[in-house]
Structure 1
């Protein structure tokens, strides 16, 4: 099942975020920020985050449990308050970990008339904050259920994780009625293999061991980006 192509469409270049555009996992940085800067959780929260991330790198994360855990310190805040926290967090903390090569590549893509998008398994509120900082117009992440202008801690719709990224991209492309054509996808993670297999031009950035093996087998482009 291939991503649809339309010769009249604008080329769309898609990036994973964590450890692709930035040298860290944004959710991990965010959780540290909640503890150290906003003082909304204690050190046990960071330790629990590490246990979840160990499962992610094995491709076995329980995403529902992780999202519920991640939002625990924020349940009393409104969406607008959390969005403000997130934008300040990206500016103050996360921006220093953006790869210079990522910034250059985004600028090059924009100059060609193509457009950029981020699709990440991180919460949409963080993905959009990073996309805004990078000047990327389109951002898709794990959407959250909302009630009374607060996040409930539950996922809404299909999570953009593993094959869910393919589903979410297809949904987005369909909503755009053929205006865009997915041409490239940049990623570091074996979790993104389903979407890498769908686009015409997969690009592996600082690939994990399993993804490097796949890239070598399939003769995919590989790049190493450094801070």
Structure 2
């Protein structure tokens, strides 16, 4: 990879690069495996709480914070290790990646672009994905830890909505020779709009009508067949 990349390529993760929702899948995976029936009930209760918040009109950022509250008291190193195991199992299953996006990001890397994953999910699950596809940067929500124990709070702001715009701009400042107007962004949900609006080449994965209405000139990538 060249020292000076041609462009930055920003990609959402859940339902853009991978077909599922990593946050909830890992929640179920971890708590059932680590804490048995009580853990499974805890994960289910967390899902219901977040669903109720969303149904009540709460911003997605609020739901994101509620998600991380569920991890209070867990050891960060253990969660990270289970994230690696989660990825090993899930990525071995056909359909884990959205093929069109994975192919597009691979082509960007071969062309000398630098791939950046931008996600409301957290390093335990995003880092293994980033390593697998050769991403250079991970911009994501980071849960707070004290003495290696997760507090249930978020360090800084969630990487959701306007948070994605902020981290994209911050990273771009470290690449003064690159103009965001020349860069690409991949997303599937209206919450990705602030990120997509920062780049000159937005790509909508799956054809969200709301995103396309906001960015009528965006390229569309189909979800496509499994890979």
Runs (5+) with no aligned partner, structure 1: 1-7
Q: What is the DSSP-based 3-state SS (H/G/I as helix, E as strand, rest coil) of the residue aligned with 1:32?
A: helix
Matched, 1:46 2:44: yes
Q: Identify the range of structure 1 (8-17 vs 51-60) with the bigger mean alpha-carbon deviation.
A: 51-60
Residues 28-60 of structure 1: per-residue CA shift (max 9 Å, x gap): 110121244334512352253154257559672
Q: Which has the higher strand share?
A: 1
Query: 1:111: which partner in 2?
Result: 110
Deviation at residue 200 of structure 1 after TM alignment: 0.4
* Alpha-carbon distance between aligned partners in 2 of 1:24 and 1:144, rounded to the nearest angstrom: 21
Name the SS for the 2:112 alignment partner: coil
Query: Could you tell which deviates more after superposition, 124-133 or 82-91?
Result: 124-133
**TM-score normalised over the length of structure 2:** 0.83
Structure 1 equivalent of residue 16 of structure 2: 20
* Aligned counterpart, 2:204: 204
Aligned to 2:6: 10
- Root-mean-square deviation (CA), in Å? 2.4
Question: How many Å separate the matches in 2 of 1:210 and 1:178?
Answer: 32
Could you say what secondary structure the match of 1:122 adopts? coil
Deviation at 1:124, TM superposition (A): 3.0
Give the aligned partner of residue 92 of structure 1. 89
- Cα distance in 2 for partners of 1:10, 1:143 equals 28
Change (3 A) 1:22 1:95: farther
Structure 2: runs of 5+ lacking an equivalent: none
Shift of 1:169: 1.6
CA positional deviation for 1:107: 1.7
The size of the alignment, in residue pairs, is: 213
1:185-224 deviations in Å (ceiling 9; x for gaps): 0000001111211110100001434223334xx2211111
Give 1:101's aligned residue. 100
2: distance between equivalents of 1:56 and 1:134? 31
Which residue in the other structure is 1:188 paired with?
188
Counterpart secondary structure, 2:9: strand
Report the equivalent of 1:66: 67
Residue equivalent to 1:31: 27
Aligned mates of 2:78, 2:195 — CA distance in 1:
33
